[in-house]
Amino acid sequence: MMEISTNTQAILMLVAPLAAGGSTDSKALLTHREYTHFVQVLQQIDSAPADLLNREETSDILDKLEGHRFDRERFNRLLGRGMQLALALEYWQQRSIQVISRADDTYPQRLKKALKHQTPVLLYTCGNIDLLQCGGLAVVGSRHAGADLLNYARDVGEIAAGADCTIVSGGAKGVDQAAMQGAVAAGGRVIGVVANNLEAAVMRSRNDLLNGMLLLCSPFDPAARFQVWRAMDRNKLIYALSDAALVVESDVGKGGTWQGAVEQIQKLKVVPLYTRTSGSDSAGLKELRKLGALSWPEFDNSKKLREFMQTIGKRDKDVELPLFSQQNTMETDWQDEIANETYTEGRSEPPDRSSALKLAESSATSDLSCCSQPLPARPENSQQAQDLSWKDKLFLHVEEIILQMLEELGPLTRDDMVVRLDIAKGQTDSWLKQLVNVGKIERLSKPTRYQLRKSEQMSLSRPQDESAASPESLVAEK
């Protein structure tokens, strides 16, 4: 089976659906927020996730966790998935898919530095994993760009290849794939951050993966189907794995490219974001520049781009190491959010392939979640958001909180939200109506509830076939 650290084995059983090894009720899994709080508690009791694989230590650890509002039966149920984990690891190995966790030395430190508490707990990868540490140029854009813009994106990929600059993109049909194709055809390096069905993308791109110049990665289970929130969520990884970003084309106010760019400009701010300046301008690019995006210098040769990227890349030379710190007592400015971002989640250890099987016979059943309340969004004081009205600024925060709540808790009624947010029903109705109108959520009936809108009904729609959302055609145009 795949060699995997015992820390990562334990983490997989706590947070991953392990779809290749069976089926798991998603409500039983620890959410990202719950897992982050769990890591805080482990620090306090001087433990690591791997300790949960030791039967002699598990009972004592679970006793301590119960004192921090964690459900013992729920943990037993998750840790009883040893056989399911073993089958999933074997399945992934057959498809050359590796999995790493934030506790592993191979996990990209630049993600931890850029995303902090939002850093994905797991990364599923296939290809040259060293590319995760390289940085590069993120190239993103609309799925339905015209032929001239697709040629432009291919040219950018080709120039980047000559500049020894990795192209980072999302693998979606249109600009993303064109930039990746241009780089691959010119012998350059490419990272594709996949939002769904990583295992299918791997099979379609095997030739490029084998030559060591392509890496496909995803924070989602390799069999995960397309959902809009996944496509939106992976945007931050594209930027965080890069040194600079170029938006080739974007709609105004809708679509994954717009949402990801605005989030980067106004909230994450992990890399300088540029917009294309050659050719005809567009309303989307103009609006992004109003929000703070920069104008791309439009390099016509690889030497100039190499010098430009080397200057920008210096920002990541002094990367702080782990995600969290063991030196200070835990203090949180916001509920369940880590204030000190440098705690080491796991002890350094050699890979262990047997622990999953050791737990295969253990079992327990329960549900319910441990302590996890929706976080208020951090206040923004960005000069780049000055063009927005105070009302619009408030709604951006409200949107983030409601979408996060629906993502973690599933469909909710209006009254559920009123109780959780402690606000008036009329105001809740107004916000829900706005989110429905802009295509972020949908209204269900019998009983009336609200949930994240399915991909078929949003502007970033699910493709007619699986190929349109994955980098399968990297080789097609060589």
DSSP letter string over 416-466? HHHHHHT--HHHHHHHHHHHHHTTSEEEETTTTEEEEPPGGGSSSPPPSSG
Task: Return all residues near 445 (Cβ < 8 A) that are at least 6 apart.
Answer: none
* Average pLDDT value for residue range 218-239: 92
* Average pLDDT value for residue range 232-236: 92
Three-class SS state of 365: coil
Higher pLDDT, 409 or 101: 101
Q: For residues 185 and 161, what is the distance between their CA atoms, to the nearest angstrom? A: 9
Q: Tens digits of per-residue pLDDT, 265-286?
A: 999 999 999 999 999 999 999 9
Q: Tens digits of per-residue pLDDT, 127-142?
A: 999 999 989 999 999 8
Beta strands in 128-284 (DSSP E): 137-140, 167-169, 190-193, 214-218, 244-247, 273-275
* Average pLDDT value for residue range 171-197: 94
Higher pLDDT, 309 or 335: 309
Higher pLDDT, 387 or 44: 44
SS3 letters across 381-407: CCHHHCCCCHHHHHHHHHHHHHHHHHH
Confidence of residue 425 (pLDDT cuts 50, 70, 90): confident
Percent of the chain at pLDDT above 90? 47
Question: What's residue 228's pLDDT?
Answer: 85
Full-model pTM? 0.70
The two structure tokens encoding residue 32:
């990202």
Question: What's residue 342's pLDDT?
Answer: 38
Q: Tens digits of per-residue pLDDT, 99-120?
A: 999 999 999 999 999 998 899 9
Question: What's residue 437's pLDDT?
Answer: 82
Higher pLDDT, 332 or 246: 246
* Average pLDDT value for residue range 388-403: 79
* Average pLDDT value for residue range 35-60: 90
* Average pLDDT value for residue range 183-194: 95
DSSP letter string over 262-325? HHIIIII--S-EEE--SSS--HHHHHHHHHTPEEP---SSHHHHHHHHHHHHGGGTT---SSB-
Q: Is 148 exposed, middle or buried (0-12, 13-18, 19+ CB in 10 A)?
A: exposed
Ordered structural domains, the chain, with CATH? 6-102+323-358 (no CATH), 129-317+463-469 (3.40.50.450), 383-457 (1.10.10.10)
Confidence of residue 264 (pLDDT cuts 50, 70, 90): very high
Q: Beginning with the edge strand found earlier in the chain, give each strand of the sheet holding 122-127 in spatial order.
A: 98-101, 122-127, 214-218, 190-193, 167-169, 137-140, 244-247, 273-275, 294-295
Residue 389 has pLDDT above 80, yes or no: no
Question: What's residue 298's pLDDT?
Answer: 93
Confidence of residue 395 (pLDDT cuts 50, 70, 90): confident
